[in-house]
Amino acid sequence: MGKATIMEPMTMVDFFWSPFAEFAFMQRALVASLALGLISGPVGVLLVMRRMSLAGDAISHAVLPGAAIGYMIAGMSLPVLGLGAFITALLVALLASGVSNITSQREDASLAAFYLMALAIGVTLVSVHGSNIDLMHLLFGSILAVDQTALVLIASATSVTLILLAMIWRVLLTSSFDPLFLAQYGRSGRLANQLFMLTVVLTFVACFQTLGTLMAVGLLMLPAVAAKFWSRDIPTACLLASAFAMISGATGLLLSYHASLPSGPSIVLTAGAIYLVSLFVGSHDSLLIHTIRSTRHRES
Amino acid sequence: MRQLYRPLLSLITVSSLLLSAPIVQANPTPPIDVVASFSILANITEEIGGPLVNVTTLVGPDADSHVFNPSPADAKSLARAQVVVINGLGFEGWIDRLVKSSGFKGKLVVASNGVKPLDFKEETKSHAPEQKDSHDHSHKHSHKPKTDHGKHDHAKHDQGEVDPHAWQDLKNGKIYAENIRAALVAVLPTARDEINARAKYYIDQIEALDQDSRMRLNAVPAEQRRVVSSHDAFGYFAQAYDVEFFAAQGWSTDREVSAAHMATLIREIRKDKVHALFVENMSDPRLMQRIAEETGVRIGGKLYSDALSAPGTAADTYLKMFSSNVNTILQALEP
């Protein structure tokens, strides 16, 4: 991949190991992307199963006003930005699920309504505050700039997400197969749903500090959709998605290092490549399988 | 420290001028509306125009001209303006459309008119172009790792040919002031004497600061004059005052950094023993902190590149901004 820029012959060690051995920023970026990959898998797959693929997109915009307020209060302080982002995103998620519980409107519709308002408030806050560049930095975090504080933030968010997921795993699995399940299950089903939204929000707060809000959606959704081409079993798909996301993180960083590409997009593009490969040759429902099946139909 | 008092001095002189002016002319004209594209030009215009001008700034203090979004209010003030001052050299990519759409019919001043533009091609190396005593360095840098080629092509491609940050050389600042003076005189011929007097006083100040800065910076040994900044905006400064600048980030602040760029920079800092790292007033300080941690150099403070700081703070005028930059660099370079 680095052929255009690196002329000397490279050994495997040079290619895969040296960048991480030589530079601490590469090590931190790797650790951060592996941790994020780990939680992106299950959260992404569950979102896809529940037909809320775009919820991630919505929530990624809902973090903006909180992050903007956090910036006004404390400047470029990661914990404060993270907390602000967490609060507004959670507020949007809970309002949306609350409205869809009471009214007959679907959750994604009310989520769209609330996130658009949040986004508008966020953009207004940033513009009134004056400096345009802050918004750009909130939207495009840089994984190369991950420091100790950011790593701790990511680690905590990852751990809490995993614990929460373990707690509500059963209910989530069942309800993902049967959308009416939640309604029948009543109160505890709704609670599980709200806890799930909490994990989605947590995943985002962890992601947006490193990849930026736009790229974070890519790492969350692309591996999940790709995994669906390889397995129908949800736990297997979750594991696969985590693996894909982690591979994307590591490969994307190497791509950014060797081919001189921006790091966030490299990671998301790697995830995109995995998706395309899965779409063509995956073992379930892929284009290859469909071709084989239609050929067989013709033969018989 | 001396520089800090100059604006005050100028204020005193100028106000004495003003006190005498009404007696002679009885102040026949109300102030004319001038729009300046960004804070530095606004300040120069105010210094020269004084009470004769009413300056509106499009991109205010601490904001970034590269990613500016004009609002309808901006178009409105542009339409009302009698003079619009822009930097030129491709700095304000959005200005042409804005001027056209606002229906502005006054005088458009390109402040950088007459400046000898620096090529971005040689400047992306971020080193001062060949000068007598930096000869040995430039030679060393021609043996850079091959990874640089890709970067250079990118930079040339993305950025066009010339570096717009001409005001970072005070000699160019004099040209800016002269251009603005000529435009104001053309629009306000009756106030010619007052404008000329103010301009002369201001240009003298620029001249003095220029000589003073050059003297103080050149007192530092040449091999120590190596710094890294998060914004590749100091090409003119590097050339004029013979300080080597290494860039931490591409020219445009809205572009994301690649791991390769970070790695090259860290290697260069280690290799060239750069002394100081600077975080400027609008870039992401997190990247700089990472580089500082990795290389052990110290973060030298804020350099102002494209914008003044908020009114009442350390760099709220062009001259204060410039002398603040010189002081910051000197402080960081002192052992």
- Residues of A near B (Cβ–Cβ under 8 Å) read 4-8, 19, 22-26, 29, 76, 130-133, 136-137, 140, 142, 144-147, 253, 256-266
Residue identified by tokens 């990519």 is: B93
Question: Using CA atoms, how far apart are residues B23 and B12, in angstroms rounded to an integer?
Answer: 18
- Residues of B near A (Cβ–Cβ under 8 Å) read 60, 62-64, 67-69, 146-147, 149-151, 154, 253-263, 266, 282-287, 289-291, 293-294
Tokens representing B10 are 């100028």
Contact A180, A215 (CB under 8 A): no
pLDDT tens, residue by residue, A129-141: 755 545 555 555 6
Distances (CA, A) of B165 to A262, B132, B217, B238: 25, 24, 20, 11
Domain boundaries, chain A: 12-299
Task: List, in sequence order, every beta strand (DSSP E) within chain B.
Answer: 32-38, 53-59, 83-86, 107-110, 118-119, 162-163, 226-229, 244-247, 276-280, 298-303
Q: pTM, whole model, 2 decimals?
A: 0.64
pLDDT for B236 equals 92
Return the residue of B nearest to A140 by Cα.
B256
* Closest residue by Cα to residue A68 from A146, A117, A115, A135: A135
- Are B259 and A133 a contacting pair at CB < 8 A? no
Percent of the residues in chain B that have a pLDDT greater than 70, as a whole number = 72
pLDDT for A51 equals 80
Return the residue of A nearest to B290 by Cα.
A145
Q: Which residues of A touch B283 (CB under 8 A)?
A: 133
- Are B258 and A256 a contacting pair at CB < 8 A? yes
Mean pLDDT across A88-98: 88
Q: Give the type of residue at B53.
A: V
Instruction: Say if residue A289's pLDDT is above 50.
Output: yes
Chain A closest-CA separation from residue B284 CA (Å) = 7
pLDDT for B153 equals 35
Cβ burial of A278 (10 Å; 0-12, 13-18, 19+) is buried
Instruction: Say if residue A9's pLDDT is above 80.
Output: no
Q: Which of B60, B64, B262 sits opposite A144 (nearest CB)?
A: B262
Return the residue of B nearest to A134 by Cα.
B282
pLDDT for B157 equals 37
pLDDT for A173 equals 82
Full set of structural domains in chain B with CATH: 2-115+166-211 (3.40.50.1980), 118-163+219-333 (3.40.50.1980)
Q: Where is average pLDDT lowest: A159-168, A208-217, A265-274, B10-19?
A: B10-19
- Are A145 and B284 a contacting pair at CB < 8 A? yes
pLDDT for A177 equals 67
Tell me the backbone φ, ψ of residue B56, rounded to 5 degrees. -110, 135
Percent of the residues in chain A that have a pLDDT greater than 90, as a whole number = 27
Antiparallel, parallel or unpaired: β B162-163 and B118-119 = antiparallel
Q: Which of A4, A5, A132 sits opposite B69 (nearest CB)?
A: A132
Q: Which residue has the higher pLDDT, B196 or A57?
A: B196
- May I ask the CATH class of domain A12-299? mainly alpha
* Closest residue by Cα to residue A29 from A260, A210, A155: A210
Q: Which residues of B touch A146 (CB under 8 A)?
A: 290
Looking at the DSSP bridge assignments, the partners of residue B53 are: B32
Return the residue of A nearest to B253 by Cα.
A133
pLDDT tens, residue by residue, B136-146: 333 333 333 33
pLDDT tens, residue by residue, A173-219: 877 666 565 556 667 777 888 888 889 888 887 887 777 766 788 88
* Closest residue by Cα to residue B278 from B219, B324, B214, B217: B324
pLDDT for B138 equals 36
- Are A5 and B150 a contacting pair at CB < 8 A? yes
Q: Which residues of chain B have pLDDT under 70?
A: 1-29, 66-67, 120-160, 230-231, 248-256, 279-285, 335
Residues in Cβ contact with A42 at an 8 Å cutoff, skipping those fewer than 6 apart = A165, A238, A241, A242
**ipTM summary value:** 0.72
Mean pLDDT across A244-268: 90
Chain B closest-CA separation from residue A197 CA (Å) = 30
How many C-beta neighbours within 10 Å does residue B77 have?
20
- Are B287 and A23 a contacting pair at CB < 8 A? no
pLDDT for A170 equals 85
Question: Using CA atoms, how far apart are residues A270 and A71, in angstroms rounded to an integer?
Answer: 31
Chain B closest-CA separation from residue A38 CA (Å) = 22
Residues in Cβ contact with B257 at an 8 Å cutoff, skipping those fewer than 6 apart = A142, A144, A262, A263, B248, B249, B250, B287
